[in-house]
Chain A
Amino acid sequence: MALKVPRHDMPCQDPLQRAHNFDEVTLGYAEETAIEEAQRCLQCKNPTCRVGCPVEVLIPDFIKKVAEGDFLAAAAVLKVKNSLPAVCGRVCPQESQCESQCVLGKKGEPVAIGRLERFVADYEIKFGESRFEKPESSGKRVAIIGGGPAGLACAGDLAKAGHGVTVFEALHVAGGVLMYGIPQFRLPKEVVQTEINNLKKMGVEILTNQVVGKVTSVDELMDNGYDAVFIGTGAGLPYFMGIPGENLLGVYSANEFLTRTNLMKGYKFPEYATPVKVGKKVAVLGAGNVAMDAARTSLRLGAEDVYIVYRRSRDEMPARKEELEHAEEEGIQFRLLTNPVQLNGDERSWVKSMTCLRYELGEPDASGRRSPVAVKGSEFDMEVDTVVVAIGQGPNPLVTTSTPGLELNKRGNIVADPETLATSKPGVFAGGDIVTGAATVILAMGAGKKAAAAMDVYLKSR
């Protein structure tokens, strides 16, 4: 019986309408839909979905409560393992994690775990009364550097364990990529701040405007009474292509473009004073989630033609399937097997075109993907007036270079024990993109939680 019920779609704003506003694209389940979707869950004795979750959310348990219509109880179960469920329900790649392991998915479609998670978290934000019983204080203090997904997840778990937690955030609001990177239409900033406020209610102290490496250092924090430090400074250094013309006017890093729009609310200019400028023809270089975010943001800021320019083919695009589909529905145009070799400017140094090469797929490379090979003599010019470079980010060196004794790898990422996330420096742990290189929100949160568990052991042993 339950098997016959198809997976429930989540209502969305109409693509043509949403391409011109910054309101959230997906609208969330209604209560009845959530219950019906939850009833599809087989409540497996050995739930494989949990194995697919980097933070091991008690998936069948919370879904059971949803099926029973007890949404607040569901939220309580959800929060045992995940302190930011409203965020994860929106931005996790469930299709390659929990939902990819769902038994129902073998013959049909998996339970919509992500949509249920979002429903429950939103329901709690709306109707729940967040109550926290403060645990007994351990008397230990922890400094967390970076208020992004890794740091916040780590902070939540350490606070639950009774440790005093202070988050040092470089920007003027905490949230990291959740605030500056992921657009409002995919993750409303109000949702992020609600989750962060919940952490504050748990006793987590958040200090903004603290650029560690400049105003203080890891060593200084340890000297000033912090018993342990977690470094979760992320991947904040934008890569450029290294081709001529990248400093022309109209060429942005995705970080800048998205920070102006999201963190500084440039889409509300001039009510908010930070401008963000987009032309008529925008090329976004890259094909990950950040590239999709930049492309869809360009459209909403008024661009007429927005191109994703990528040197491989559709199958190799790293973005989530849902993001690709949403982008396509909204009218983003894909220019695949294409890559610029030079950006050309006008007499005032504004970008006006890109000289590109066409590519074809050759033998598989080290990553197992077929590697793109440039087609000789295939140069052509593509007219553009804005270029957003979204080809990845490296580790920001401000903290790592100011911390003697911290072992780094060749790329500048921190070397951490895979199990405990302990670094080469006693009492200092690290996790998230600063260790792995640019990855996902949920992997960073998983690392933050893993580190918190190890730090708890470390702190109690002292």
Chain B
Amino acid sequence: MYRIVKRKQLAPAIVLLEVEAPAVAAKVEPGQFVIVHMDEHSERIPLTVMDFDRERGTITIVIQDVGYSSCMINLMQEGTAFQDFVGPLGTASEIENLGTVVCIGGGLGIAPVHPIARALKAAGNHVISVLGSRSADLLILEEEMRAVSDEVVIATNDGSLGVQGFVTDGLAHILAQGTKVNAIWAIGPMIMMKAVVEYTRPLGIKTIVSLNPIMVDGTGMCGACRVSVGNETKFACVDGPEFDGHLVDFDLAMQRLNYYKDEENRAKAHGMCGIEGGHH
């Protein structure tokens, strides 16, 4: 069993969980993910890693209540445990000194960007982070991101904090200052990543995205996570999760995410998350 040693509510419907998984913590690198399985009746869910502590033997994940299974996990308390916690999965980010890099995290996507930004900074990059959320109260991990970035730009849709608009507006703000950006990591909702790559495509800035499609095993066995990258089919679980954003077919990826929408609603109607989960 994999015990939750710390639970922290980061924002409405967003929870941080620090989980005991020493073997995973010993090996995980920025950019990789884990699969969690609460109990026998649950789904296996892929989650990106927000942080890891090799000495404490823990992995920190951040989860947003967006559906039945994520809602069930959000209800888990300190001291309870996952039946299964598998990782590290996927390939690690290619960390090297590129010069100036921008790390964009949108919403929950700030969590997986955090260890990547930290590693990029440690490798000698000048790290500018762009954090986006709908409004100031939904912004997560600002302090943690400031600690691993040289500069931080915040963009909120309603303008309650930082630049008003989307993360692309935050990026525009950086570029308008004449900063030469060598590479960008952008992680967040598909629609956000698509907007970023469309923005950077004409500028010719290398943009890496991290995809989080539907998965089952996470080891290349089922193929549920296949995505089209440069017109080739790739498995996000073993070939990714990071890809060159300019090659990803985001429209298809977004449609594939909706595959089980009806079932999601049926599951909610069935379980306790349907009765009281009010964040959908």
Instruction: List A residues at the B interface (Cβ < 8 Å).
Output: 170-172, 180, 208-211, 214-216, 236-238, 240, 246-247, 249, 252-253, 255-256, 259-260, 264, 269-275, 277, 348-349, 396-398
B136 to chain A, nearest CB (A): 34
Please tell me which one of the listed residues A214, A236, A274 contacts residue B44 in the complex, with CB atoms under 8 A apart. A274
Inter-chain contacts of A253 with B (CB < 8 A):
222-224
**Min CB gap A116→B, angstroms:** 34
Q: Is the CB of A249 within 8 A of B255?
A: yes
Contact A172 B83, beta carbon cutoff 8 Å:
yes
The answer on a CB contact under 8 Å between A255 and B221 is yes
**Given A171-B217, A270-B271, is A215 in contact with B223 using a C-beta cutoff of 8 Å?**
no
19 contacts between A and B (CB under 8 A): A170-B219, A209-B84, A211-B89, A214-B88, A214-B89, A216-B23, A238-B223, A255-B222, A256-B216, A264-B43, A269-B263, A270-B267, A270-B271, A272-B40, A272-B41, A273-B41, A273-B43, A273-B271, A277-B260
Residues of A close to B87: CB separation below 8 A = 211, 214-215
Min Cβ gap B56→A in Å is 17
**Do A274 and B216 contact each other (CB < 8 Å), given the known contacts A172-B37, A172-B84, A348-B255?**
yes
| B256 in contact with A259 (CB, 8 Å) | no
Q: Are A273 and B233 in contact (CB under 8 A)?
A: no
Bound Cα distance from A214 to B27, whole angstroms: 8
With A215-B88, A260-B222, A275-B267 known, 14 other A-B pairs at CB within 8 A are: A170-B217, A172-B83, A208-B84, A211-B87, A215-B87, A216-B23, A249-B256, A256-B216, A256-B224, A259-B216, A269-B267, A271-B270, A273-B43, A398-B219
C-beta contact mask, B18-47 vs A, less than 8 Å → 1, else 0? 000001100100000000010011111000
Residues of B within 8 A of A260 (CB): 216, 222
A contact residues around B277 at 8 Å (CB): none
- B43 to A396, Cβ gap below 8 A? no
The residues of A that contact B23 with a CB separation of less than 8 Å are 210, 215-216
Are A215 and B221 closer than 8 Å at their CB atoms? no
Complex: how many Å from CA A180 to CA B222?
A: 10
> Chain A's nearest CB lies how many Å from the CB of B14?
21
Distance in Å: Cβ of A9 to nearest Cβ of chain B: 37
> A349 — nearest CB in chain B belongs to which residue?
B255
Shortest Cβ gap from A108 to chain B (Å): 43
How distant is the Cα of A349 from the Cα of B86 in the complex, in angstroms? 31
Give the 4 A-B residue pairs with the shortest CB-CB distance, closest first: A275-B263, A256-B222, A270-B270, A253-B223
A22 to B210, CA, bound (A): 38
B194 vs chain A, min Cβ distance (A): 15
Contact A398 B220 (CB under 8 A): yes
**How many of B's residues come within 8 Å of A, CB to CB?**
45
Give the docked Cα–Cα distance between A62 and B267 (Å): 49
Q: Judging by beta carbons under 8 Å apart, are A277 and B263 in contact?
A: yes
A273 contacts B267, C-beta separation under 8 Å: yes
Q: Look across to chain A and name the residue whose beta carbon is closest to the beta carbon of B24.
A: A215
Bound-state CA distance A378–B228 (Å) is: 30
Q: Tell me which residues across on chain A come within 8 A of B228, comparing CB atoms.
A: 247
Q: Tell me the bound Cα distance from A172 to B1 in angstroms.
A: 11
* Bound-state Cα–Cα, A180 to B44, Å: 14
CA A246 – CA B228 in complex, angstroms? 10
Known: A214-B88, A259-B216, A264-B216. A273 touches B69 (CB 8 A): yes
The minimal Cβ–Cβ distance linking B74 to chain A, given in whole angstroms, is: 14
Does the CB pair B267–A240 fall under 8 Å? no
* Residues of A contacting B185 in the complex (Cβ-Cβ under 8 angstroms): none
Q: Given that A172-B44, A348-B255 are known contacts, is A259 also in contact with B27, CB under 8 Å in the complex?
A: no
Nearest A residue to B23, CB-CB: A215
A247: contacting residue among B24, B41, B256, B260, CB under 8 A: B256
> What chain A residues lie within 8 Å of B227 (beta carbons)?
247
Answer whether residue B52 sits at the interface, using C-beta atoms and an 8 A cutoff: no
CB proximity of B256 to chain A, nearest CB, Å: 6
Query: Complex Cα distance A233/B83, Å?
Result: 23
B242 → A minimal CB distance (Å): 16
Interface centre among B68, B219, B226, B255 (most CB of A within 10 A): B219
Question: Which of A172, A208, A246 is packed against the most chain B CB atoms within 10 Å?
Answer: A172
Query: B252 and A270: CB pair below 8 A?
Result: no
Q: What's the minimum C-beta distance from B248 to chain A, rounded to whole angstroms?
A: 12
Q: Which residues of chain A come closer than 8 Å to B88, judged between CB atoms?
A: 214-215
Tell me, rounded to whole Å, the shortest Cβ–Cβ distance linking B16 to chain A.
Answer: 22
A397 vs B239: C-alpha distance when bound (angstroms): 11
Write out, one digit per residue, whether chain B residues 252-280 have a CB within 8 A of any chain A CB (1) or not (0). Answer: 10011011100110110111000000000
Contacts A209-B84, A215-B87; A237 near B220 (Cβ below 8 A): yes
Residue of B nearest to A272 (CB): B41
Cα–Cα distance between A396 and B235 once the two chains are bound (Å): 12
Assess whether B250 is interfacial by the CB under 8 Å rule: no
CB-CB contacts of B77-105 with A at 8 A, as 1s and 0s? 00000011111110000000000000000
- Assuming the contacts A270-B267, A273-B43, asked whether A396 and B220 have C-beta atoms less than 8 A apart, the reply is yes
A residues less than 8 Å from B264 (CB atoms): 275
The chain B residue with its CB closest to the CB of A396 is: B220
- Verify A273–B42 contact, CB threshold 8 A: yes
* B238 in the interface (beta carbon within 8 A): yes
Q: Residues of A contacting B27 with CB < 8 Å? A: 214-216
